[in-house]
Amino acid sequence: MSQRSKKEKLSFRERLAAFCPEREIFLRSGSRVKFIRITRRAQLCTAGALSAMLVGWGALTVTMVAGSAAVAHDRAALAEQGKAVASKASKVEHYRKSVEELTQDLEERQDFMDDLYRTHFGAEGGSLSDRVIGSPDAETKKNAQSDDTGAKIGVAPETAPLMKVDARQRRFALFLATAVERRADKAAAAIRSFGLNPDSLSRSAARAQGGPFVPWPGERKDMPKELARLTSALSRMEFLESSLIAIPSGKPTAAPMETSSYGYRRDPFNGRAAFHAGMDFPGRHGQPILAAAGGKVVYVGQRQGYGNVVEIQHGNGLMTRYAHLSGFSSRVGQAVARGDAIGRMGSTGRSTGTHLHFEVRLDGQPINPRRFLEARQDVLQVQQIAKARFAGIGNRG
């Protein structure tokens, strides 16, 4: 061992001896004296034990702090998982509600279409649902894939049947709207054949409407365009066919010929040029006079030059006048159908003999009755079809 190492070793021992010198503690009890000697070794052992305890306590403290941090981390992770679960549950609930909403939309739309069909065409041959809901064709499947209703609930296997029903309903509504539009076009053409403008009739028709606003219940947005087109087409057909039925195309009497036509003529009393606003039909006294179309009796009485008169309002500004009557078979306010007896032929007023003076007026102005009494057979068929439909609806109602 070198001299320097010996000096350092002695120096360490000296410092340790100076730090932990041997100690003696004296205890006096009465006349007895005791002392306790605490050796350097005991002091060193005690110091070592205390140091070990301090180190252990520190390690325990660090372990506890680390454990607390881990617990906090686990709790945060559990909280995040709980939020994720809650979010998924919310999505599931939203999905379920969306499916329920779509199902309700489809059911309400189906009821709406059934009601429309029954109102305008009756319900013979089973319910409309049997013809709407069924095995979809290729076009329906194609529409179901591209239909925008899926955006409401997303593309999911569970919604595929509902999507097919939705596409099939829309396709049927479009098909029915096309058929209704064709039928309405036929009615419009028939009205034109009488020399009347269906658009003018529509503008002049009284459309009394009202009531509180109740939003469309079936859809959470606007009515689907297919249903909107269908309702518009049905409304147009309804108006045109009801207008067609109201056009006076029936003969007002059984007389086979006329004695005076519509237009300018020589007056039978003074021989001067005059305007004749109707057509004259000869016959026997008391012969029944018939309503040329359905409507409401608005006047029963006498008018200057006409004698005894019955006037019937048919709607859309159309009115028929039956003059020179010998008697009445109707009253004001009475609803009459085509062919109903409303009076009896006579020769009252400015008349030279027993006959019926028959007029047709539109918005108060006379028009030629001949075009109504000489309608083509195909036009009369369209009119009869419309009349039969309205009669069937009335019977079902």
Q: 87, 102, 126 — which closes off a domain? A: 87
Same domain, 284 and 314: yes
DSSP state of 223: P
Cα atoms found within 13 Å of the Cα of residue 312, Cβ hemisphere only: 32
If you count them, how many residues does the chain have?
A: 397
Does residue 330 sit within a domain?
yes
For residue 98, what are the domain limits? 92-204+220-249+376-397
* Terminal Cα-to-Cα distance of the chain (whole angstroms): 130
Same domain, 47 and 171: no
User: In the numeric block, which tokens belong to residue 176?
Assistant: 């029915």
| 319's tokens | 């009115």
Residue 210: inside a domain = no
Q: What is the pLDDT along the chain (397 residues), one digit of tens a residue?
A: 565 665 555 566 666 666 667 776 666 776 776 767 777 777 778 777 888 888 888 888 888 877 777 777 777 777 777 777 666 666 655 555 566 666 667 677 677 666 666 666 655 444 444 444 344 445 444 544 444 444 444 445 556 667 777 777 788 888 888 888 888 898 888 888 888 888 877 665 545 455 565 555 554 456 678 888 888 888 888 888 888 888 888 889 987 777 778 888 887 878 788 888 899 999 999 999 999 988 999 999 999 999 999 999 998 889 999 999 999 999 999 999 989 999 999 999 999 999 999 999 988 999 988 888 877 777 778 878 777 777 665 554 4
- Note whether 324 and 281 are within 8 A (CB): no
CA atoms of 251 and 374, how far apart (whole Å): 9
Q: Is residue 25 part of a domain?
A: yes
Structure tokens given for 175? 């098909």
H/E stretch holding 198: helix 198-204
327 lies in some domain: yes
Residues 6+ away with beta carbon under 8 Å from 353: 282, 347
Residues 8 and 35 in one domain: yes
What is the DSSP code (8-state) at residue 299? E
Rounded Cα distance between 322 and 318, Å, is: 14
Q: 164 with 309, same domain?
A: no
Label residues 71-82 b or e (16+ Cβ within 10 Å = b).
eeeeeeeeeeee
pLDDT of residue 147: 46
User: What type of residue sits at position 198?
Assistant: P
- The pLDDT assigned to 393 comes to 57
Same-domain status, 193 and 305? no
Please report, to the nearest 10 degrees, the dihedral formed by the alpha carbons of residues 55, 61, 64, 69 taken in order: -120
Distance from C-alpha of 196 to C-alpha of 362, rounded to nearest angstrom: 9
The number of C-alpha atoms within 13 Å of 4 and in the hemisphere containing its C-beta is: 0
Whether 279 and 338 share a structural domain: yes
Domain containing residue 326: CATH number: 2.70.70.10
Q: For residue 131, what pLDDT is reported?
A: 45
Q: Would you state the pLDDT for residue 126?
A: 45
Quick one: 98 and 235 in the same domain?
yes
Domain assignment present for 214: no
Q: Rounded CA gap, 128 and 169, in Å?
A: 10
Q: Are 359 and 393 contained in the same domain?
A: no
Query: Are 188 and 331 part of one and the same domain?
Result: no
| Total number of domains constituting the chain | 3
Last residue of a domain, one of 87, 113, 128: 87
Same domain, 396 and 329: no
- Residues 231 and 356 placed together within one structural domain of the fold: no
In a domain, 257, yes or no: no
- pLDDT the model gives residue 100: 66
Choose among 291, 272, 270: nearest CA to 350.
270
Domain termination residue (choose one: 87, 118, 138): 87
Of 303, 296, 180, 173, give the one whose Cα is nearest residue 246: 296
| 215 within a domain of the structure (yes/no) | no
Q: Indicate whether 254 belongs to any domain.
A: no
3-state SS class at 300 = strand
Same domain, 368 and 279: yes
CB 225 within 8 A of CB 174: no
Tokens of 257: 């010929």
